[in-house]
Amino acid sequence: MKVLVAVKRVIDYNVKVRVKGDNTGVETANVKMSMNPFDEIGVEEALRLREAGTAEEVVAVSLGVQQCQETIRTALAMGADRGILVKTDEELQPLAVAKLLKAVVDEEAPDLVILGKQAIDDDANQCGQMLAALAGWPQGTFASKIEIADGKATITREVDGGLETIAVDMPCVMTTDLRLNEPRYASLPNIMKAKKKPIDEKTPEDLGVDITPRLKVLKVEEPPTRQAGVIVESVAELVEKLRDEAGVI
Protein backbone atom coordinates (compact mmCIF):
# COMPACT_ATOMS: atom_id res chain seq x y z
CA MET A 1 0.00 0.00 0.00
CA LYS A 2 1.27 3.46 -0.92
CA VAL A 3 0.46 6.46 1.27
CA LEU A 4 0.66 10.02 -0.06
CA VAL A 5 0.98 12.77 2.55
CA ALA A 6 0.57 16.46 1.74
CA VAL A 7 2.80 18.81 3.74
CA LYS A 8 2.52 22.61 3.73
CA ARG A 9 5.14 25.23 4.55
CA VAL A 10 3.64 27.79 6.93
CA ILE A 11 4.81 30.43 9.39
CA ASP A 12 5.98 28.63 12.53
CA TYR A 13 3.26 28.39 15.15
CA ASN A 14 5.52 30.09 17.74
CA VAL A 15 5.91 33.22 15.61
CA LYS A 16 3.66 36.23 16.12
CA VAL A 17 2.12 36.99 12.73
CA ARG A 18 2.39 40.62 11.63
CA VAL A 19 0.44 42.40 8.89
CA LYS A 20 2.38 44.12 6.11
CA GLY A 21 2.47 47.89 6.15
CA ASP A 22 0.43 48.12 2.93
CA ASN A 23 -2.25 45.72 4.29
CA THR A 24 -1.85 43.34 1.34
CA GLY A 25 -1.04 40.29 3.49
CA VAL A 26 1.13 39.07 6.35
CA GLU A 27 4.87 39.50 6.65
CA THR A 28 6.83 36.39 5.62
CA ALA A 29 10.27 37.89 4.93
CA ASN A 30 12.88 36.76 7.48
CA VAL A 31 10.20 34.84 9.38
CA LYS A 32 10.76 31.29 10.63
CA MET A 33 8.79 28.77 8.57
CA SER A 34 8.00 25.14 9.41
CA MET A 35 5.69 22.28 8.49
CA ASN A 36 2.02 22.76 9.27
CA PRO A 37 1.42 20.96 12.62
CA PHE A 38 -1.59 19.01 11.32
CA ASP A 39 0.53 17.79 8.40
CA GLU A 40 3.20 16.59 10.85
CA ILE A 41 0.49 14.42 12.41
CA GLY A 42 -0.32 13.12 8.93
CA VAL A 43 3.31 12.16 8.28
CA GLU A 44 3.51 10.43 11.66
CA GLU A 45 0.37 8.40 10.98
CA ALA A 46 1.68 7.32 7.57
CA LEU A 47 4.95 6.22 9.16
CA ARG A 48 3.09 4.23 11.82
CA LEU A 49 1.11 2.47 9.11
CA ARG A 50 4.36 1.54 7.39
CA GLU A 51 5.94 0.34 10.63
CA ALA A 52 2.87 -1.81 11.29
CA GLY A 53 3.33 -3.45 7.90
CA THR A 54 0.14 -1.96 6.48
CA ALA A 55 1.91 0.46 4.14
CA GLU A 56 4.99 -0.11 2.03
CA GLU A 57 5.84 3.41 0.86
CA VAL A 58 5.29 6.92 2.21
CA VAL A 59 5.51 9.81 -0.25
CA ALA A 60 5.53 13.44 0.93
CA VAL A 61 4.26 16.08 -1.49
CA SER A 62 4.40 19.86 -1.11
CA LEU A 63 3.22 22.68 -3.37
CA GLY A 64 4.71 26.15 -3.61
CA VAL A 65 8.03 27.97 -3.77
CA GLN A 66 11.46 26.32 -3.91
CA GLN A 67 11.83 26.62 -0.12
CA CYS A 68 9.01 24.08 0.28
CA GLN A 69 11.75 21.54 -0.39
CA GLU A 70 12.87 22.15 3.20
CA THR A 71 9.43 21.06 4.42
CA ILE A 72 9.69 17.87 2.36
CA ARG A 73 13.17 17.25 3.81
CA THR A 74 11.62 17.46 7.28
CA ALA A 75 9.12 14.75 6.32
CA LEU A 76 11.95 12.67 4.84
CA ALA A 77 13.95 13.09 8.05
CA MET A 78 10.95 11.83 10.02
CA GLY A 79 11.01 8.71 7.83
CA ALA A 80 9.15 9.30 4.54
CA ASP A 81 10.66 7.44 1.58
CA ARG A 82 10.67 10.15 -1.09
CA GLY A 83 9.23 13.55 -1.91
CA ILE A 84 7.48 15.43 -4.69
CA LEU A 85 7.63 19.23 -5.05
CA VAL A 86 5.16 20.98 -7.33
CA LYS A 87 7.05 24.23 -7.76
CA THR A 88 5.31 27.53 -8.37
CA ASP A 89 5.78 31.11 -7.17
CA GLU A 90 2.06 31.85 -7.58
CA GLU A 91 -0.24 32.07 -4.56
CA LEU A 92 -2.10 28.77 -4.26
CA GLN A 93 -5.71 28.83 -3.09
CA PRO A 94 -7.45 25.68 -1.77
CA LEU A 95 -9.10 24.72 -5.07
CA ALA A 96 -5.79 25.02 -6.95
CA VAL A 97 -4.09 22.91 -4.26
CA ALA A 98 -6.78 20.25 -4.55
CA LYS A 99 -6.45 20.17 -8.35
CA LEU A 100 -2.67 19.84 -8.16
CA LEU A 101 -2.94 17.07 -5.58
CA LYS A 102 -5.50 15.31 -7.80
CA ALA A 103 -2.99 15.40 -10.68
CA VAL A 104 -0.27 13.96 -8.42
CA VAL A 105 -2.68 11.28 -7.19
CA ASP A 106 -3.43 10.31 -10.79
CA GLU A 107 0.29 9.82 -11.44
CA GLU A 108 1.21 8.12 -8.17
CA ALA A 109 -1.96 6.00 -7.67
CA PRO A 110 -1.76 5.87 -3.85
CA ASP A 111 -4.15 3.80 -1.74
CA LEU A 112 -4.47 6.48 0.94
CA VAL A 113 -3.99 10.26 0.89
CA ILE A 114 -3.48 11.98 4.25
CA LEU A 115 -3.76 15.74 4.76
CA GLY A 116 -3.89 17.91 7.83
CA LYS A 117 -7.47 18.97 8.53
CA GLN A 118 -6.44 22.60 8.04
CA ALA A 119 -3.39 24.83 7.70
CA ILE A 120 -2.64 27.23 10.52
CA ASP A 121 -2.04 30.14 8.12
CA ASP A 122 -5.39 30.35 6.30
CA ASP A 123 -7.48 27.92 8.44
CA ALA A 124 -9.41 27.07 5.26
CA ASN A 125 -10.17 23.40 6.02
CA GLN A 126 -11.08 22.78 2.38
CA CYS A 127 -8.35 20.89 0.51
CA GLY A 128 -9.09 17.39 1.81
CA GLN A 129 -12.77 17.64 1.01
CA MET A 130 -12.13 19.19 -2.42
CA LEU A 131 -9.56 16.51 -3.29
CA ALA A 132 -11.98 13.72 -2.35
CA ALA A 133 -14.67 15.31 -4.52
CA LEU A 134 -12.35 15.74 -7.51
CA ALA A 135 -11.01 12.19 -7.21
CA GLY A 136 -14.43 10.67 -6.52
CA TRP A 137 -13.01 8.97 -3.41
CA PRO A 138 -14.61 8.51 0.00
CA GLN A 139 -13.27 10.70 2.78
CA GLY A 140 -12.80 10.61 6.53
CA THR A 141 -12.18 14.07 7.96
CA PHE A 142 -11.04 15.14 11.47
CA ALA A 143 -9.69 11.65 12.15
CA SER A 144 -8.58 10.77 15.68
CA LYS A 145 -8.03 7.07 14.89
CA ILE A 146 -7.62 4.93 11.78
CA GLU A 147 -7.55 1.17 11.25
CA ILE A 148 -7.03 -0.46 7.86
CA ALA A 149 -8.05 -4.03 7.05
CA ASP A 150 -9.58 -5.98 4.17
CA GLY A 151 -9.50 -3.05 1.76
CA LYS A 152 -11.41 -0.75 4.11
CA ALA A 153 -10.39 2.08 6.41
CA THR A 154 -12.24 2.43 9.72
CA ILE A 155 -11.92 6.05 10.80
CA THR A 156 -12.98 7.58 14.11
CA ARG A 157 -13.96 11.21 13.55
CA GLU A 158 -14.19 14.03 16.05
CA VAL A 159 -17.55 15.77 15.59
CA ASP A 160 -19.44 18.35 17.65
CA GLY A 161 -21.46 15.73 19.48
CA GLY A 162 -18.53 13.45 20.31
CA LEU A 163 -17.01 10.67 18.18
CA GLU A 164 -18.28 9.15 14.96
CA THR A 165 -16.85 5.94 13.47
CA ILE A 166 -17.16 5.31 9.75
CA ALA A 167 -15.88 2.61 7.39
CA VAL A 168 -14.85 3.64 3.87
CA ASP A 169 -13.50 1.72 0.91
CA MET A 170 -9.92 2.23 -0.19
CA PRO A 171 -8.53 4.28 -1.84
CA CYS A 172 -9.67 7.20 0.27
CA VAL A 173 -8.76 10.64 1.59
CA MET A 174 -8.21 11.28 5.30
CA THR A 175 -7.61 14.52 7.19
CA THR A 176 -5.98 14.48 10.62
CA ASP A 177 -7.10 15.92 13.92
CA LEU A 178 -4.89 16.73 16.91
CA ARG A 179 -5.60 13.58 18.91
CA LEU A 180 -4.63 11.15 16.15
CA ASN A 181 -1.03 10.92 17.38
CA GLU A 182 2.00 12.85 18.60
CA PRO A 183 4.62 13.37 15.87
CA ARG A 184 8.15 12.08 16.43
CA TYR A 185 11.29 14.18 16.38
CA ALA A 186 13.71 13.57 13.54
CA SER A 187 16.98 12.07 14.78
CA LEU A 188 20.33 13.40 13.55
CA PRO A 189 21.14 10.21 11.56
CA ASN A 190 17.75 10.43 9.83
CA ILE A 191 18.30 14.12 9.06
CA MET A 192 21.55 13.18 7.34
CA LYS A 193 19.89 10.32 5.45
CA ALA A 194 17.10 12.65 4.31
CA LYS A 195 19.61 14.69 2.32
CA LYS A 196 20.13 11.71 -0.01
CA LYS A 197 16.47 10.78 -0.47
CA PRO A 198 14.99 11.76 -3.85
CA ILE A 199 12.67 14.72 -4.40
CA ASP A 200 10.98 14.95 -7.81
CA GLU A 201 10.22 18.46 -9.03
CA LYS A 202 7.22 19.26 -11.20
CA THR A 203 5.32 22.39 -12.19
CA PRO A 204 1.58 23.05 -12.56
CA GLU A 205 2.20 23.17 -16.31
CA ASP A 206 3.70 19.66 -16.21
CA LEU A 207 0.53 18.46 -14.49
CA GLY A 208 -1.77 20.40 -16.81
CA VAL A 209 -3.46 22.30 -13.97
CA ASP A 210 -4.75 25.89 -14.10
CA ILE A 211 -3.92 27.57 -10.78
CA THR A 212 -5.45 30.97 -11.56
CA PRO A 213 -6.74 32.48 -8.27
CA ARG A 214 -10.53 32.58 -7.93
CA LEU A 215 -10.49 34.90 -4.93
CA LYS A 216 -8.92 38.32 -4.43
CA VAL A 217 -7.73 39.59 -1.06
CA LEU A 218 -8.88 43.18 -0.70
CA LYS A 219 -7.30 44.04 2.64
CA VAL A 220 -5.65 42.39 5.63
CA GLU A 221 -5.91 44.09 9.02
CA GLU A 222 -4.89 43.40 12.59
CA PRO A 223 -7.84 42.54 14.87
CA PRO A 224 -9.01 45.53 16.93
CA THR A 225 -7.20 46.05 20.22
CA ARG A 226 -9.19 44.66 23.10
CA GLN A 227 -10.19 47.31 25.63
CA ALA A 228 -9.04 46.96 29.21
CA GLY A 229 -11.55 45.68 31.75
CA VAL A 230 -12.75 47.63 34.78
CA ILE A 231 -13.14 46.63 38.40
CA VAL A 232 -16.51 47.42 39.99
CA GLU A 233 -17.23 47.82 43.68
CA SER A 234 -20.67 46.21 43.82
CA VAL A 235 -23.25 44.20 41.92
CA ALA A 236 -25.37 47.32 41.56
CA GLU A 237 -22.51 49.13 39.82
CA LEU A 238 -21.94 46.11 37.55
CA VAL A 239 -25.61 46.06 36.53
CA GLU A 240 -25.53 49.80 35.90
CA LYS A 241 -22.48 49.55 33.61
CA LEU A 242 -23.92 46.58 31.73
CA ARG A 243 -27.15 48.52 31.19
CA ASP A 244 -25.90 52.04 30.53
CA GLU A 245 -22.43 51.60 29.02
CA ALA A 246 -22.34 48.14 27.43
CA GLY A 247 -26.03 48.11 26.53
CA VAL A 248 -26.33 44.34 26.94
CA ILE A 249 -29.20 44.30 29.43
**Long-range own/partner contacts, residues 204-212 (CB < 8 A, 24 or more apart):** 204/86, 204/88, 204/90, 204/96, 204/100, 207/86, 207/100, 207/103, 207/104, 207/107, 208/103, 209/96, 209/99, 209/100, 209/103, 210/96, 210/99, 211/88, 211/90, 211/92, 211/96, 211/99, 211/100, 212/96
- Chain segment 28-71, per-residue pLDDT in tens: 888 999 999 999 999 999 999 999 999 999 999 999 999 999 99
Tell how many helices (H) and how many strands (E) occur in the chain.
7, 11
| Predicted confidence (pLDDT) at residue 21 exceeds the cutoff of 90 | no
| Predicted confidence (pLDDT) at residue 225 exceeds the cutoff of 90 | no
Pairing mode, if any, of strands 57-64 and 82-87? parallel
Q: At what angle do helices 68-78 and 37-51 cross, to 10 degrees?
A: 30
Residue 29 pLDDT? 85
Check residues 69 and 23 and name the one with the higher pLDDT: 69
pLDDT range class, residue 249, cuts 50, 70, 90: confident
Residue 133 pLDDT? 97
Residue 25 pLDDT? 86
Residue 132 pLDDT? 97
Rounded to whole angstroms, the Cα distance separating 39 from 44 reads 9
Residue 217 pLDDT? 87
Least-confidence region, from 1-5, 95-99, 159-163 = 159-163
Residue 248 pLDDT? 83
Cβ burial, residue 172 (10 Å; 0-12/13-18/19+): buried
- Chain segment 162-208, per-residue pLDDT in tens: 899 999 999 999 999 999 999 999 899 999 999 999 999 999 999 99
pTM of the model: 0.86
On whether the CB atoms of residues 157 and 169 are closer than 8 A, the answer is no
- Chain segment 75-129, per-residue pLDDT in tens: 999 999 999 999 999 989 999 999 999 999 999 999 999 999 999 998 999 999 9
Check residues 204 and 225 and name the one with the higher pLDDT: 204
DSSP annotation of 19 reads: B
| 136: alpha, beta or left? (left if phi > 0; alpha if psi -120 to 50) | left
pLDDT range class, residue 138, cuts 50, 70, 90: very high
Work out the average pLDDT over 121-144.
95
| Predicted confidence (pLDDT) at residue 23 exceeds the cutoff of 90 | no
| Predicted confidence (pLDDT) at residue 227 exceeds the cutoff of 90 | no
Domains of the chain and CATH, by start = 2-223 (3.40.50.620)
